[in-house]
């Protein structure tokens, strides 16, 4: 029964993968001295594609099972949630490297193609986190990060007087307004059926197993209303002469949001699609993949030049668009996964409500967030900043988060329960007795989605909220909207399970997201902390929003997932895989990725290992790392943004230096101190040489032999350019 305890460090994608090539050798060398095994598993996009076709181990499947055992101790770095264009690019790269993976079937016609498509659908979008997150989420800015931010505050800019920046969201007929929800009394297997107006029964999902106490809800985005809303928003942006910007979550909500994105592209380029829609569709150029994919495909079309001219005319005559990169001509409507609401909205607010136009100049924006479930949060922050001025990072408190996410709770818009409705009719969720639990009238093209939240995760989440409130003394606010059907069911559970805990002396409340935002901001301005206890989506959104306003980035977060089965999943920061950082590395051999999230994750992971393996020296490593990280912050060793400063690799060297010094200096474990003393001396003596070698490597393009599947040797060479540092580690 005894499974050997070990720490599993994940290989993922993009910037965190690059950073791993530099940081993991340090971790493994240090951990080995204390007898702590640190092994890797590759759950990057390329490896997951290969695994679907039996060409690599199914590491994700293995870790998903491990996460349900008390021995789990996994450090999870951010990975790509692949959009279709990214998936296709990864497939092309793998094929070019000789891997026998099939092309992505755009419109599967045969059984074999449908099978291939089903495999690819498993790696698309947010495919990793729901598998690993067998626990709820505890995310906060550690004290050392808040202290650093107070001493070195970033700038939250003020909105101009009379700023026209505002949020546009639907008032009805959207996911929030149409939501219906039930809590199941007993275990059952449900099904989802569309009965069409012309009398056909289309099974959308044959088997949906549910457990007693599980909340199931269903809702629909009525596309006719969505299109009217978008047309209205475009007209409003034009009339107010502000930038039109669309903010979705096409990665996590991988079925629904690319479709909504496509409607926005079609609304903006209505004349283009009226004139050329059939030709574009026949060529497989879909608005859902974005303007960028359409433009890229035009050269191959007989009419391509004319279509391009019409697109240019639409851009010239339509409302001004926000640009992701005006130098490169990349608009807000180019790629569905370029603008992600949880990162884009806080960045816009931090920047005084401005985005960039075609000319690279800043301007106010109409931030279009079609579904109204959470849009009010951003409007509340904008209102607050407009009324009271920007938040001052040197003075404000904190809004940590306890988020519901275990066992794929509230995975809205993803997975296998979201459908673009093929015919007018009614969608019903039926129980095994054939009774209708939930029902919506639908029209062709509507986006219907169901979602689940099991009872055990909800209980665990409530317990975690109480535990954090107890540990910190801060008020805990459940961000729940009693006018939403799903939230009303959750509120019943909160009211039922809270009394099972000792809450004497604790301040625990339930507020709607808009009120909770205003309440938390008021406290934040007084320097006070308020725990936001949220569902899965706001977990994601709030852990970018508040960190970005408080400490300038979501990268420096402690992100713990206490697994329900007893193990630990340690996520690194709250950000993603930072594709822009890879571009910079390739262009100028400079990686601005900040690995603080990895440092923070490693501390509780080592502590958990100490407990799992009965190995107190792992605690010594953890304590030393914790102190080293504080020194690292005090000495401002995080990567800069520009060439010629300490980058990711340099930051790893300084962490290694401070960590070795702490280990050499501690007296809890004299053997470990003796083992590290020579290394600490050597790194201290060679600091200048190593720092110079690392700086000298910067400033020219590099080749790592791939993007989704970079060459390990080339990448290691790029990410470990200091011969002196490498020799010190190798001989350690
Ligand atoms: P992102 O990766 O968080 O990057 C947005 C920006 O945040 C970066 O350009 C960077 O800003 C900053 N950033 C994030 N982490 C950072 C770090 N450790 N150090 C320094 N800066 C950091 O968000 P995204 O571009 O929306 O998403 C990219 C990919 O990551 C997508 O495929 C997305 O689905 C995925 N994602 C994964 C997870 C996860 O696995 N847990 C979470 C979120 C997103 P600057 O450019 O200013 O340096
Ligand atoms: Mg997020």
Mutate to test the pocket of ligand 1, among 126, 325, 577, 584 (most ligand atoms within 8 A of CB): 577
Q: How far is the CA of 591 from the centre of ligand 2 (A)?
A: 21
User: CB-based contacts of 263: which residues, under 8 Å, 6+ apart?
Assistant: 223, 226, 227, 230, 287
DSSP label of 321: B
Of 479, 484, 481, the closest CA to residue 465 belongs to: 479
The SS3 assignment for 649 reads helix
Which alpha helices (DSSP H) does 67-110 contain, by range? 84-96
Ligand 1: which residue has its CA nearest to atom 30? 576
Q: Identify whether the C-beta of residue 487 lies closer than 8 Å to the C-beta of residue 216.
A: no
Ligand nearest to the CA of 561: 1
- The per-residue pLDDT for range 464-507, each reduced to its tens digit, is 999 999 999 999 999 999 999 999 999 999 999 999 999 999 99
Q: How far is the CA of 675 from the centre of ligand 1 (A)?
A: 37
Would you say the CB of residue 551 lies under 6 angstroms from ligand 1?
no
Q: How far is the CA of 545 from the centre of ligand 2 (A)?
A: 8
Residue 707 tokens read as: 């993007």
Of 239, 238, 240, 232, the closest CA to residue 263 belongs to: 232
Position 120 scores a pLDDT of 96
Burial class (CB in 10 A: 0-12, 13-18, 19+), 424: middle
- Report whether pLDDT(414) > 70: no
Rounded to the nearest 10°, the torsion over CA 68, 72, 75, 81 is -20
With both helix axes pointing from N to C terminus, report the angle between 256-268 and 270-282 in degrees, rounded to the nearest 10: 120
Q: How far is the CA of 687 from the centre of ligand 1 (A)?
A: 30
- Report whether pLDDT(3) > 80: no
Q: Identify whether the C-beta of residue 427 lies closer than 8 Å to the C-beta of residue 204.
A: yes
Would you say the CB of residue 78 lies under 6 angstroms from ligand 1?
yes
Ligand 1: which residue has its CA nearest to atom 9? 578
Residue 96 tokens read as: 């070019």
Q: How far is the CA of 14 from the centre of ligand 1 (A)?
A: 10
**Cα 554 off chain centre by:** 10
Mutate to test the pocket of ligand 1, among 78, 257, 601 (most ligand atoms within 8 A of CB): 78
With both helix axes pointing from N to C terminus, report the angle between 45-52 and 84-96 in degrees, rounded to the nearest 10: 70
How many CB atoms sit inside 10 A of residue 206's CB? 10
Q: How far is the CA of 578 from the centre of ligand 1 (A)?
A: 4
Mean pLDDT for all residues in the chain: 96
Atom nearest to 573 CA in ligand 1? 18
- The per-residue pLDDT for range 156-202, each reduced to its tens digit, is 999 999 999 999 999 999 999 999 999 999 999 999 999 999 999 99
Would you say the CB of residue 552 lies under 6 angstroms from ligand 1?
no
Ligand 1: which residue has its CA nearest to atom 34? 81
Atom nearest to 575 CA in ligand 1? 3
Mutate to test the pocket of ligand 1, among 578, 648, 650 (most ligand atoms within 8 A of CB): 578
DSSP label of 186: S
User: CB-based contacts of 90: which residues, under 8 Å, 6+ apart?
Assistant: 45, 46, 49, 82, 707, 708, 709
Q: Identify whether the C-beta of residue 13 lies closer than 8 Å to the C-beta of residue 708.
A: yes
Assign 373 a pLDDT band (cuts: 50, 70, 90). Answer: very high
Of 558, 585, 577, the closest CA to residue 81 belongs to: 577
Q: How far is CA 405 from CA 69, 122, 373, 417, 563, in A?
A: 18, 19, 17, 17, 11
Position 1 scores a pLDDT of 37
State how far the Cα of 151 lies from the Cα of 279, in Å rounded to an integer. Answer: 58
Of 55, 58, 61, 53, the closest CA to residue 112 belongs to: 53
Atom nearest to 125 CA in ligand 1? 34
- Report whether pLDDT(2) > 60: no
Residue 403 tokens read as: 């988020």
Ligand 1: which residue has its CA nearest to atom 11? 578
Q: Identify whether the C-beta of residue 619 lies closer than 8 Å to the C-beta of residue 571.
A: no
Length of the chain: 732
- The per-residue pLDDT for range 596-646, each reduced to its tens digit, is 999 999 999 999 999 999 999 999 999 999 999 999 999 999 999 889 999
Atom nearest to 340 CA in ligand 1? 26
Phi, psi of 646, deg, nearest 5: -65, 125
Position 251 scores a pLDDT of 81
Would you say the CB of residue 23 lies under 6 angstroms from ligand 1?
no
Would you say the CB of residue 596 lies under 6 angstroms from ligand 1?
no
Mutate to test the pocket of ligand 1, among 75, 85, 89, 576 (most ligand atoms within 8 A of CB): 576
Ligand 1: which residue has its CA nearest to atom 37? 576
User: CB-based contacts of 332: which residues, under 8 Å, 6+ apart?
Assistant: 243, 244, 245, 246, 321, 322, 323, 324, 338, 339, 355
Ligand 1: which residue has its CA nearest to atom 39? 78
Position 413 scores a pLDDT of 61
Q: What is the mean pLDDT of residues 303-326?
A: 97
Position 566 scores a pLDDT of 93
Q: What is the mean pLDDT of residues 526-547?
A: 97
3-state helix, strand, coil in the chain (%, to 5): 45, 15, 35
Ligand nearest to the CA of 534: 2
State how far the Cα of 412 lies from the Cα of 406, in Å rounded to an integer. Answer: 13
Q: Identify whether the C-beta of residue 87 lies closer than 8 Å to the C-beta of residue 48.
A: no
DSSP label of 563: B
- Report whether pLDDT(669) > 80: yes
Phi, psi of 194, deg, nearest 5: -100, 120
Would you say the CB of residue 148 lies under 6 angstroms from ligand 1?
no
Average the pLDDT over each of 83-87, 296-300, 618-622 and give the range with the smallest value: 83-87
State how far the Cα of 240 lies from the Cα of 164, in Å rounded to an integer. Answer: 8
How many CB atoms sit inside 10 A of residue 108's CB? 15
């Amino acid at each position: 029964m005894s499974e050997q305890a070990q720490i599993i460090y994940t290989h993922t994608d993009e910037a965190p993968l690059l950073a791993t090539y530099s940081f993991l050798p340090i971790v493994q060398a240090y951990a080995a001295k204390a007898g702590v095994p640190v092994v890797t598993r590759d759950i990057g996009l390329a490896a997951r594609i290969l695994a679907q076709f039996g060409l690599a181990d199914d590491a994700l499947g293995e870790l998903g099972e491990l996460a349900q055992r008390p021995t789990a101790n996994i450090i999870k770095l951010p990975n790509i949630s692949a959009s279709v264009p990214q998936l296709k690019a990864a497939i092309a790269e793998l094929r070019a490297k000789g891997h026998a993976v099939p092309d992505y079937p755009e419109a599967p016609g045969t059984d074999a193609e449908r099978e291939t498509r089903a495999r690819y659908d498993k790696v698309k979008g947010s495919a990793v986190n729901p598998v690993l997150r067998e626990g709820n989420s505890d995310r906060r800015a550690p004290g050392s990060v808040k202290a650093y931010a107070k001493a070195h505050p970033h700038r939250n800019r003020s909105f101009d007087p009379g700023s026209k920046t505002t949020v546009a969201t639907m008032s009805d007929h959207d996911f929030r307004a149409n939501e219906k929800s039930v809590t199941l009394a007993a275990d059952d297997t449900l099904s989802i059926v569309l009965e069409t107006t012309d009398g056909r029964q289309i099974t959308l999902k044959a088997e949906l197993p549910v457990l007693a106490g599980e909340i199931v809800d269903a809702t629909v985005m009525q596309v006719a209303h969505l299109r009217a809303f978008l047309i209205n928003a475009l007209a409003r942006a034009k009339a107010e002469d502000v930038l039109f910007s669309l903010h979705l979550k096409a990665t996590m909500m991988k079925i629904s949001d690319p479709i909504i994105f496509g409607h926005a592209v079609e609304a903006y380029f209505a004349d283009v699609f009226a004139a050329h829609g059939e030709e574009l569709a026949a060529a497989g150029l879909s608005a859902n993949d974005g303007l960028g994919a359409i433009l890229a495909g035009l050269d191959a079309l007989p009419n391509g030049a004319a279509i391009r001219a019409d697109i240019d005319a639409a851009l010239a005559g339509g409302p001004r668009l926000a640009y992701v990169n005006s130098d490169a001509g990349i608009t807000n409507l180019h790629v569905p996964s370029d603008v992600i609401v949880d990162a884009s909205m806080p960045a816009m607010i931090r920047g005084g409500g401005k985005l960039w136009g075609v000319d690279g100049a800043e301007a106010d924006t109409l931030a279009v967030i079609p579904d109204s479930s959470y849009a009010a949060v951003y409007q509340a922050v904008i209102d607050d900043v407009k009324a009271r001025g920007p938040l001052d990072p040197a003075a404000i408190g904190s809004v940590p988060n306890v988020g519901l996410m275990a066992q794929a709770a509230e995975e809205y818009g993803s997975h296998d329960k979201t459908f673009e409705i093929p015919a007018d009719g009614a969608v019903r969720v039926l129980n095994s007795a054939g009774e209708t639990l939930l029902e919506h009238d639908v029209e062709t093209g509507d986006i219907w989605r169901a979602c689940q939240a099991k009872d055990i995760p909800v209980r665990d989440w409530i317990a975690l909220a109480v535990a954090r409130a107890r540990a910190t003394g801060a008020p805990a606010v459940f961000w729940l909207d009693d006018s939403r059907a799903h939230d009303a069911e959750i509120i019943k559970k909160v009211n039922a399970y809270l009394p099972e805990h000792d809450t004497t002396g604790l301040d625990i409340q339930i507020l709607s997201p808009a009120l909770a935002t205003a309440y938390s901001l008021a406290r934040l301005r007084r320097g006070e902390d308020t725990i936001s206890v949220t569902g899965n989506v706001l977990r994601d959104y709030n852990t970018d929003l508040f960190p970005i306003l408080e400490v300038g980035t979501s990268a420096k977060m402690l992100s713990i997932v206490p697994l329900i089965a007893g193990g630990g999943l340690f996520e690194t920061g709250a950000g993603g895989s930072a594709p822009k950082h890879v571009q910079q590395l390739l262009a100028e051999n400079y990686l601005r990725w900040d690995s603080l999230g990895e440092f923070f994750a490693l501390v509780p992971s080592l502590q958990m290992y100490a407990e799992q393996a009965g190995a107190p020296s792992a605690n010594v490593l953890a304590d030393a790392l914790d102190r080293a990280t504080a020194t690292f912050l005090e000495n401002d060793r995080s990567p800069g943004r520009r060439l010629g400063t300490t980058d990711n690799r340099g930051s790893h060297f300084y962490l290694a230096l401070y960590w070795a010094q702490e280990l050499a200096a501690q007296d809890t474990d004299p053997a470990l101190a003796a083992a590290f003393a020579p290394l600490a001396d050597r790194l201290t003596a060679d600091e200048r040489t190593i720092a110079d070698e690392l700086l000298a490597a910067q400033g020219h393009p590099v080749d790592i032999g791939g993007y989704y599947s970079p060459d390990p040797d080339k990448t290691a060479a790029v990410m470990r350019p200091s011969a002196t540092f490498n020799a010190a580690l190798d001989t350690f």
